[in-house]
């Protein structure tokens, strides 16, 4: 069997495996046209396989008699892996950039509630020199009794906010049935933490031509987040921004535990921009600025922050939203930290 290159998958035959069992595995691999290299040791026999991911996934090798374990050598993602792109990815909308030295300052209300509330916030965010405007028209709420967003009416308001301020719009898509409506208003499609592993939705946005802001699920590992991004990229859309927004731990001092280590690790693993949402892990507004500063320091490519003209009236996430009147000062503070890192707001 002609084998070139190094193996992508190792099949370990147990110490008690018979040579017939090894031959059976080799015969099935040959039938599938998979190259194999056998190494017979004193304790175990190891078969190294070479083939593409999809081909190797077709054989349930771990179920074969005599097989002790199957050890993947390849990472489970390739399109989003650092090695697959020569340079870091920059996501540009209307000349406003995120990634590779361009720090994205993305801000806006948690939810689009009313026209006045959204336009007032958008003006404050634009005046502060932000990159993009965020705001949810469709809201993924833990309780079915909580405010669910105003839906398509909110999308009209976001369009108006963009027309007035020129700020590109980031808004969440929850349901594949809303793709067309959301695409009509969104410059960047947000996939929320709760849909981080909704693979059909990920594939759906992978077939669009809009950038995707993919949030990490509260119980999703770094590797799972990268595989979720791979679902989008596999469909042809590689304009993806990853977002760390806090994970569930035993800690109750903050709403979620902001996993800054994940940001550093992601930056090493992928060419995609990685941003931080300091608002949801903080859960209270006085923690947002310190977490945002930490995000800049760890090397994040941006932050997405919630701000509301009158947080005490907010229909969602009231405790963590920064009053819009204070957002300019917040942005100035962040801008100084961004400059220290040798970057600029995109
Ligand atoms: C949000 O951005 O308002 C939101 C719902 O975030 P997450 O999906 O991270 O909870
Ligand atoms: Mn929110």
| 220-236 residue pLDDT tens | 999 999 999 999 999 99
Q: Please state the rounded mean pLDDT for residues 214-218.
A: 98
Q: In this structure, which CATH number among 3.30.70.1140, 3.40.50.2300, 3.40.50.300, 3.40.630.30 belongs to the domain 9-74?
A: 3.30.70.1140
**What's this model's pTM, rounded to 2 decimal places?**
0.94
Q: Which CATH homologous superfamily contains domain 91-345?
A: Aldolase class I (3.20.20.70)
Q: Please state the rounded mean pLDDT for residues 183-207.
A: 98
pLDDT above 90 as % of the chain: 91
321 Ramachandran zone, left/alpha/beta (phi>0; psi -120 to 50): beta
Q: Please state the rounded mean pLDDT for residues 129-141.
A: 97
89 token code pair: 């990815």
Q: Where are the domains of the chain?
A: 9-74, 91-345
What CA–CA distances, in Å, run from 45 to 56, 134, 143, 237, 332? 19, 55, 53, 41, 62
- Residues 128 and 329: their CA atoms lie apart, in Å, by 8
Q: Please state the rounded mean pLDDT for residues 279-289.
A: 98
Binding site membership of 140 for ligand 1 (Cβ less than 6 Å): yes
Beta strands in 164-312 (DSSP E): 169-172, 188-191, 212-215, 240-244, 274-276, 302-308
| 22-33 residue pLDDT tens | 999 999 999 989
Tell whether the model's pLDDT for residue 2 goes beyond 60. no
Residue 5: predicted pLDDT = 61
Of 167, 205, 174, 171, the closest CA to residue 188 belongs to: 171
Under a CB-based contact definition with an 8 Å cutoff, are residues 333 and 327 in contact?
A: no
Tell whether the model's pLDDT for residue 325 goes beyond 50. yes
Residue 59: predicted pLDDT = 87
- Residues 148 and 176: their CA atoms lie apart, in Å, by 17
What are the residues whose beta carbon lies below 5 Å from ligand 2 (ion)? Answer: 110, 317
Residue 57: predicted pLDDT = 84
Tell whether the model's pLDDT for residue 312 goes beyond 90. yes
Tell whether the model's pLDDT for residue 3 goes beyond 80. no
| 260-270 residue pLDDT tens | 999 999 999 99
Mean residue pLDDT across the chain: 96
Tell whether the model's pLDDT for residue 95 goes beyond 80. yes
Residue 289: predicted pLDDT = 98
Binding site membership of 308 for ligand 1 (Cβ less than 6 Å): no
- When pLDDT is cut at 50, 70 and 90, the band that residue 74 belongs to is confident
Binding site membership of 245 for ligand 1 (Cβ less than 6 Å): yes
Of 169, 241, 176, 232, the closest CA to residue 206 belongs to: 232
Residue 299: predicted pLDDT = 98
Q: How far is the CA of 24 from the centre of ligand 2 (A)?
A: 55
Q: How far is the CA of 280 from the centre of ligand 1 (A)?
A: 7
For atom 3 of ligand 1, the residue with the nearest CA is 110
Q: Please state the rounded mean pLDDT for residues 43-70.
A: 90
Tell whether the model's pLDDT for residue 75 goes beyond 80. yes
Tell whether the model's pLDDT for residue 302 goes beyond 70. yes
Q: Looking at the CA of 190, name the nearest ligand.
A: 1
Residue 22: predicted pLDDT = 96
From 172, 243, 254, the mutation candidate for ligand 1 (largest count of ligand atoms within 8 A of CB) is 172
Tell whether the model's pLDDT for residue 1 goes beyond 50. no
Residue 93: predicted pLDDT = 98
14 token code pair: 């147990």
Can you list the alpha helix ranges (DSSP code H) found in 148-273? 152-165, 179-185, 199-206, 222-234, 260-269
């Amino acid at each position: 069997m002609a084998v070139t290159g190094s193996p992508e998958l190792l099949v370990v035959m147990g110490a008690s495996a018979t040579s017939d069992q090894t031959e059976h595995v080799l015969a099935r691999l040959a039938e599938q046209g998979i190259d194999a290299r056998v190494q017979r040791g004193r304790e175990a026999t190891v078969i190294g396989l070479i083939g593409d991911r999809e081909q190797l996934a077709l054989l349930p090798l771990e179920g074969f008699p005599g097989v002790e374990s199957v050890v993947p050598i390849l990472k489970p993602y390739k399109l989003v892996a650092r090695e697959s792109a020569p340079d870091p990815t920059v996501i540009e909308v209307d000349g406003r950039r995120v990634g590779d030295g361009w720090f994205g300052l993305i801000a806006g209300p948690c939810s689009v509630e009313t026209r006045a509330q959204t336009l007032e916030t958008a003006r404050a965010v634009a005046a502060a020199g932000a990159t993009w405007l965020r705001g949810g028209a469709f809201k993924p709420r833990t309780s079915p009794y909580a405010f669910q967003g105003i839906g398509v009416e909110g999308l009209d308001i976001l369009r108006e906010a963009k027309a007035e301020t020129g700020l590109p719009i980031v808004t969440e898509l929850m349901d594949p049935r809303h793709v067309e409506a959301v695409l009509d208003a969104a410059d960047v499609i947000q996939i929320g933490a709760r849909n981080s592993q909704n693979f059909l939705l990920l594939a759906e946005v992978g077939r669009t031509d809009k950038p995707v802001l993919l949030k990490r699920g509260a119980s999703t590992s770094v590797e799972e987040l990268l595989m979720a991004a791979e679902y989008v990229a596999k469909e042809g859309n590689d304009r993806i921004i990853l977002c760390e927004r806090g994970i569930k731990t035993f800690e109750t001092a903050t709403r979620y535990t902001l996993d800054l280590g994940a940001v550093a690790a992601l930056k090493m693993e992928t060419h995609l921009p990685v941003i931080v949402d300091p608002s949801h892990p903080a859960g209270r507004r006085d923690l947002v600025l310190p977490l945002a500063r930490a995000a800049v320091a760890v090397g994040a490519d941006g932050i997405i922050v919630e701000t509301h003209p009158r947080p005490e009236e907010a229909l969602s996430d009231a405790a963590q939203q920064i009053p819009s009147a204070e957002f300019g000062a917040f942005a100035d503070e962040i801008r100084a930290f961004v400059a220290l890192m040798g970057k600029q707001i995109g």
